[in-house]
Structure 1
Amino acid sequence: MLMKPLIIGQLKARLPIIQGGMGVGISRCNLAGAVALEGGIGVISTAQIGYDEEEFSRNPIEANLRAIKKHLQRAKEIAKGGIVGVNIMVATKQYAEYVKAAVEAKADVIISGAGLPINLPELVKGSVSKIAPIVSSLKATSIILKMWDRKYNTTADFLVIEGPLAGGHLGFHEDELVDIDMDAYQEEIKKIISLKKEYEEKYNQEIPVIVAGGIFDKEDVKRALLNGADGIQVGTRFVTTKECDASDAYKQAYINCKKEDIRIIKSPVGMPGRAIWNPFLEKLTKGRSEIKHCFGCLEHCNPKEVPYCITKALTNAVEGKLEEGLIFCGDNADRLKEITTVKQVMEELTV
């Protein structure tokens, strides 16, 4: 057996499998709790997590902060001692408040990307939460680890390296996603692993490396582990599970999609993203979608300029209004053919 338990400080996951955080509403308490119960690390996405709270349209930030605590508590109850954390985008408005809410709710891990989480160590100081940046390059990893070392005299508890085959927002230029060179990307992973060893020695601690993006089956898992990773992060595989928090219609969109439906789009966030082509995206080719209400989700979003409201698009999708929704997915979404369970997916990934 190639797999070993994933140890992050005092935390020990029986299986080195992290479920990727998927917003809006795709990975909340039910999915994260189920993954943690099966021995992995379940992750709740905080992106507009309170979309179904009563006062969300009036006060989205307060609704989200309350929902973070509520879903972490519920996930921990489901997990029965398993490891549960959150994914918080740096691009989120009131980012610091979201981190503080997760800390107060005793999130086991906080994973942060969509920007450089430079001040994350300060926000979790004195807490039980372990922290990891999401990185896609040696350059980004070097910047973060140097800054954390210099400003806070600390380092990452683990690293999540997200590759070009991942779903949702991607930390790559669009031209890098047209003709993907996976061999070059594997070399980048090796360079990141080499770099983190410097900080392991300095701080006398292990910094596990988790790779994400395009992992679908046992062969992908074996390849990642043999290339030096300590664990894997998987998102897409968990969408079509009974426990996933998305609507049945959303899950069915994955099952029905074909390879040619999976495309790289430009998100209002300013980053490229991978999504399933549908009537909503087709309509956007003819002009922008009018934004009638701003939910204040992203730091650098001007409702007067962006082509559509990403909160509304993602909320429509999770609720099953697919013709008006944005459906993010990983590169392998077309390989999903049926609704399954978290337990079955975990068993299929264990090597």
Structure 2
Amino acid sequence: MYQDHHIPALKIGNLEIRLPIIQGGMGVRVSGAGLAAAVANAGCAGVIASAGLGLFEDLRASASKRLGEEVLRSEIRKAKQLTDGVIGVNIMVALSNYEQLVRVAVEEGADMIVSGAGLPLALPGYVGGGSTKLVPIVSSARTFQIICRRWQNHFHRLPDAVVVEGARAGGHLGYALESLADDSAPTLEQLVTEVVAVANSFSPVIPVIAAGGIFDGQDIAHFLRSGASGVQMATRFVCTDECDVHDNFKQAYLDARPEDITLIESPVGLPGRVINNAFVESIKRGETKPFLCKSQCLRGCDPRKAPYCIAEVLAKAAMGKLDESFAFAGSNAYRCNEIIPVKALVAKLIAELALAMVDEHTCTPAKVA
């Protein structure tokens, strides 16, 4: 349906994604089997977010973690029943059951594991000899070099691809809050150029996927021209029929204005980009939301000091309870103005991309109605 000789496939080893788009993993419970399968059926790579699965179905910490692993297993199986396309899993290094989730993803035949929120230095040691591709998320060329060096020295392998995530992404961000607030963080263009230079030093070359603030086909074309092999997009897939999140969450995107996209300091020690609301205003004023930790789900979280439970807040957001929570969102979330099927969104992105690539040698920017 989307065949166009101007559109390159994204090749990660022997894995070929027909269109150079990976749907970003969005937790808690925003990108599940439904969204991932729809994206995969559209010719891109769909990604299930593993964070927060099963946390609130059982109050016992150990049972909650095991349940999360089984829910992930179920989500992967469900997605694979709905598509024969590419299905990946996003697994955050910061999760306390990181290793177990990785093993579940490999056992269930996930095509790739995308891993950030910390350095996935030990990741290859958990996957055995499976065919699952390993794709770390980095925010600098230096971080990428550290991962490559560790993987080479300890596991005799390199990443199959790398996602370089810039400061305009949604959710938790790998930058200092001050650099985000004053726009001193490196641009995604700078980061892609630097990471591509490192990736190209290896043989075979490691594919680089650009992420953070990418919204339309012209953005995709721009980063493909900059040396990236593909892009990762998350925010854009929220406002689709198949996104697994509650309609209230999607409506927050539709209602957002540019000034509503704001930064917070998350309890887990990372800045986060969210859509402003009364709850956000309250935590910015320093108000606390007492909670009983039901599961030590994040390694870096100290429940005794945290002003609120980030996992509980995100779970409530996914359930549409935005008076008690907030929606993570990328810097361009305010540009979302309709809820459409994934198939229609991908068709629009690819039409824009094709036109931008046809016009890349002209001086006039490509425009799509």
Partner residue, 2:102: 99
Partner residue, 1:235: 234
Alignment TM-score, normalising by the size of structure 1: 0.95
In structure 1, give the amino acid aligned to 2:159: A
Deviation by residue 1:49-69 (Cα, 9 ceiling, x = unmatched): 2256x4366622011100111
Deviation by residue 1:243-265 (Cα, 9 ceiling, x = unmatched): 00000111111111111111011
- Contact 2:137-2:165 at 8 Å conserved across structures: yes
Change (3 A) 1:165 1:2: farther
Partner residue, 1:322: 322
Q: Which moved more, 1:110-119 or 1:277-286?
A: 277-286
Could you tell me which of 20, 23, 29 is aligned with 1:19?
23
Partner residue, 1:159: 162
Partner residue, 1:108: 111
Change (3 A) 1:292 1:182: closer
In 1: Cα distance, 2:317 partner to 2:97 partner: 24
Alignment TM-score, normalising by the size of structure 2: 0.90
- Contact 1:28-1:49 at 8 Å conserved across structures: no
In 1: Cα distance, 2:240 partner to 2:258 partner: 20
Give the alignment's Cα RMSD to 1 decimal: 1.5
In structure 2, give the amino acid aligned to 1:271: L
Partner residue, 1:311: 311
Deviation by residue 1:177-228 (Cα, 9 ceiling, x = unmatched): 12336875422321211111222x2xxx342110001111111111111111
Deviation by residue 1:14-39 (Cα, 9 ceiling, x = unmatched): 10100000000000000000000111
1:47 is aligned to 2:46: no
SS, match of residue 111 in structure 1: strand
- Contact 2:254-2:336 at 8 Å conserved across structures: yes
Aligned residues: 345
In structure 2, give the amino acid aligned to 1:89: M
- Contact 2:23-2:234 at 8 Å conserved across structures: yes
Q: Cα offset for 1:337?
A: 1.0
SS, match of residue 22 in structure 1: coil
Q: Cα offset for 1:155?
A: 0.1
In 1: Cα distance, 2:38 partner to 2:32 partner: 10
Deviation by residue 1:95-118 (Cα, 9 ceiling, x = unmatched): 111101111111110000000000
Q: Which residues of 2 match residues 262-273 of structure 1 at below 5 A?
A: 262-273=261-272
SS, match of residue 323 in structure 1: coil
- Contact 2:55-2:295 at 8 Å conserved across structures: no
SS, match of residue 89 in structure 1: coil
Change (3 A) 1:314 1:32: same
In 1: Cα distance, 2:6 partner to 2:172 partner: 30
In 2: Cα distance, 1:187 partner to 1:242 partner: 34
- Contact 1:24-1:314 at 8 Å conserved across structures: yes
In 1: Cα distance, 2:44 partner to 2:60 partner: 34
- Contact 2:179-2:185 at 8 Å conserved across structures: no
In structure 2, give the amino acid aligned to 1:17: I
In 2: Cα distance, 1:253 partner to 1:139 partner: 36
In structure 2, give the amino acid aligned to 1:159: V
SS, match of residue 280 in structure 1: helix
Partner residue, 1:89: 92
Q: Cα offset for 1:326?
A: 2.3
In 2: Cα distance, 1:102 partner to 1:177 partner: 33
1:132 is aligned to 2:131: no
